[in-house]
Chain A
Amino acid sequence: MHSRTRFIFFLLSLAALSLYAGIGATVHMLNGDALPCEIQTEYFSVVNNLGEMFLPADLLAEIRFPEAFTVTAKQSLTEIRTVYGEVFRGFVTNESITLLFYGGNMDIRRGKISKILFQNAPVAPKEYQATVTLRNGDMFYGNLMENGTKIQTSYGIVELPFKNMKRITFEGSGNVLSKLEMIEGGTLQGVIKSDYLSFSLLTGIEISVVPDLILNIVFAR
């Protein structure tokens, strides 16, 4: 191999190595073991009633698995927290997690883990349009992917831009009544006509949520 080519290859390998450097974390196992390690798994697949999300390991703060699986349905969800302070509940579907542990790679079954504490530093959320809180307690920051939405009020249909909104509160189920507070002080009540509201999250994920699952949306100023 030509020496220049070798040098470029070496540089590329170095770049690849640094790109895939693991994320510092402590993995706590169900039997009480604690493994300080580097997580090599790049994405965690999380499934919940919003669908499937692939959360990058470098944006995660904590994954807490249900205790001993001996719990009621409501509690048997895994809780995932991001570096922004967002919370998602669902199932982590990665069958195993790869980690670098005292210099050796190790694949561990997800079902044997109690919690993973990532060493990623907390990040103050920036450049987001709205804080969304779901009725199940999940919370995330993001930008709405549409400019506005149509509202069916008892006196007519109106299309309102999100940029003029302060807060939307959702009530009821099925025909979800939305209460809109506008920045200028106006208030409206009606049914959001869209089947879904789509968000682009700070973690780079895009999700669509039916209004029935949302508790409120607070718009950032």
Chain B
Amino acid sequence: MKKKQTILLMLLVIFATAFSATVADVFMLNGDKLPSNFLTEEISFVTDYGLFVFPVEYLFEIQFPEQGKGVTELWTIFGEHFQGFLMNERILIEVYDKKMEIISAKISKIAFDKEKIEAKDFDFFLYLRNGDAFIGYLKEEAVGISTSYGTTELKYQDMKKIRFEGVGNVLSKIEMRDGGMMQGIIQNEFLPLRFLSDVDLEIVPDMIDYILFMADIQKKTREPANNELWAIVQAGSFMMGNARNDREGSDNEMPTHKVKITYDYWMKKHEVTFDEYDAYCAATGKTKPNDKNWGRGKRPVILVSWADAMRYCNWLSEKEGLVPAYNLSSTLQDALGNQTTDLSRVEGYRLPTEAEWEYAAKGGHLFADTKYAGSDKIDDVGWYDKNSQQKTQEVGKKKPNALGIYDLTGNVAEWCQDWIGAYTMQNETNPISTKGGSKRITRGGSWYVMPSLCRNSSRNSEAPDNRFQYLGFRVVRTVVK
């Protein structure tokens, strides 16, 4: 009897676990917050490409538009993003042990108490042109392509990426795993797919931006190519600004404030060189920047604008099969192509934020309280106006800092991600200045300036379109978990 009771109890526990309601915070338009058991089991959601019924256990967040302007956004626990309208007129919740039916149109946001899950065993990531993105399986094995020289059928398993361009007769650029490339028009009217959440979808190519196939996706967690050229900067905290009270510090380095960086990132050990930038120009047909007759090779690239630097980062990302860090509006995007300011979710190569740059310059998790990046003596670590012979020098010729990173001090000043803005005393986590304006931050000083402007905490800024012979850049990449 005792054994039977135990089995019954176990079954009850399993039953209770399986059918327990999802917990969620429901935020109402009037500001009320209702910590709830979410009793509605399925969410009907209509998008411009179909109606989906999502089991609630797959949902992460639903954000309703302010005052009905625009569309509702839905995120799944796999990080998928959908924009459309919620079709459930009412939602059933249990608040403080009482059931309550609430009108969906009165809700501002539903945050489900779920952890994001790393999707596994799927065929593709698919990004739509409107910013929606999802993960799933292909329901067919191949697709017909009509090129200007003939028609063929290609298997998805041989593909690395398809990018769709144009409208109407959508031109598809297909990159194959073996390095092959083909351009043509996909003959199928639509592509039949299935989401991880078992929802089926048929989608016309016109709506798709690009599809990344599984083997390509697996590269994402890998280290950068030539990883010996990269330093890992571990998450941590530091005092940003002139925390040493250097006499030559400027007002814009104050007030000092505590900054926490919650993710690890790779930083290239040296500034982007002419060799590297010229390879990019050759691959993309861009004009190579002038070297002022100082020589190219391992000297840091100069005469590049902020946008030039950004485009180089995106090219590097695409080359390594990563989702580019910048979208068409030059705004940061996450691994699913959603615009973001959360740097921990940006997958591709990008420019460092000002905080990331200064944290690395100060030794990151191996903090060293030096004036310059790796020393109090500038001649040990950097090229500046008095020792540079008034030009750039090959990278990596001075001592690196504690992280093994060269030339953070001097040689060329380095474009950063942020727009210029004044510091405040507030503690910050993963700060990024996105306010816009007329100038972007540059850091590190250069061969052209005096030592005080090459200090770790010294700040400068330039109009993003400017190209100077003392200004280059360095690349970073978040270690995406």
Give CA–CA (A174, B109) in the complex, Å.
12
A52 contacts which chain B residues (CB < 8 A)?
87
| A139 CB → nearest B CB, Å | 13
Within 8 A of A (CB), among B20-43: 28-32
| B44 CB → nearest A CB, Å | 10
Within 8 A of B (CB), among A26-64: 29-33, 47-49, 51-52
Q: Does A76 contact B (CB under 8 A)?
A: yes
Cβ 8 A contact of B105, one of A77, A111, A210 = A210
Within 8 A of B (CB), among A85-132: 90-91, 93, 109, 111-112, 114
Do residues B87 and A47 form an inter-chain contact, with CB atoms below 8 A?
yes
Which stretch (B70-78, B147-155, B211-219, B469-477) binds chain A? B70-78
B105 closest partner in A (C-beta)? A210
Give CA–CA (A57, B174) in the complex, Å.
40
Give CA–CA (A137, B48) in the complex, Å.
19
Q: Does A212 contact B (CB under 8 A)?
A: yes
Size of the B side of the interface (Cβ < 8 Å), in residues, is 43
Within 8 A of B (CB), among A171-217: 173-175, 195-196, 210, 212-213
Do residues A30 and B168 form an inter-chain contact, with CB atoms below 8 A?
yes
B87 contacts which chain A residues (CB < 8 A)?
47, 51-52
Q: Does B303 contact A (CB under 8 A)?
A: no
Within 8 A of B (CB), among A58-92: 66, 68-74, 76-78, 90-91
A135 contacts which chain B residues (CB < 8 A)?
67-69
Do residues B67 and A91 form an inter-chain contact, with CB atoms below 8 A?
no
A66 contacts which chain B residues (CB < 8 A)?
48, 130
A90 contacts which chain B residues (CB < 8 A)?
85
B83 closest partner in A (C-beta)? A73
Q: Does A136 contact B (CB under 8 A)?
A: yes
Within 8 A of A (CB), among B170-225: 189-190, 203-204, 206-207, 209
Do residues B206 and A69 form an inter-chain contact, with CB atoms below 8 A?
yes
**Residues 326-343 of chain B: 1 if any A CB is under 8 Å from the residue's CB, otherwise 0?**
001000000000000000
Q: Does B434 contact A (CB under 8 A)?
A: no
Q: Does B464 contact A (CB under 8 A)?
A: no
A112 touching B67 in the complex, CB below 8 Å, given contacts A69-B129, A73-B130, A73-B131: no
Q: Interface SS of chain A: helix, strand, loop or mixed?
A: loop
A72 contacts which chain B residues (CB < 8 A)?
130-131
| A68 CB → nearest B CB, Å | 4
Do residues B190 and A134 form an inter-chain contact, with CB atoms below 8 A?
no
A71 contacts which chain B residues (CB < 8 A)?
129-130
Do residues B204 and A68 form an inter-chain contact, with CB atoms below 8 A?
no
| Chain A interface category by residue count | 35 or more
Q: Does B157 contact A (CB under 8 A)?
A: no
Give CA–CA (A114, B204) in the complex, Å.
14
A33 contacts which chain B residues (CB < 8 A)?
168
| A141 CB → nearest B CB, Å | 19
Do residues B168 and A29 form an inter-chain contact, with CB atoms below 8 A?
yes
Do residues A68 and B129 form an inter-chain contact, with CB atoms below 8 A?
yes
Q: Does B56 contact A (CB under 8 A)?
A: no
Q: Does B51 contact A (CB under 8 A)?
A: yes
| A219 CB → nearest B CB, Å | 22
A29 closest partner in B (C-beta)? B168
Do residues A76 and B190 form an inter-chain contact, with CB atoms below 8 A?
no
A174 touching B106 in the complex, CB below 8 Å, given contacts A68-B129, A70-B130, A90-B85: yes
**Residue positions of B touching A, CB distance < 8 A:** 28-32, 46-49, 51, 65-73, 83-85, 87, 89, 103, 105-106, 108, 128-131, 167-169, 189-190, 203-204, 206-207, 209, 328
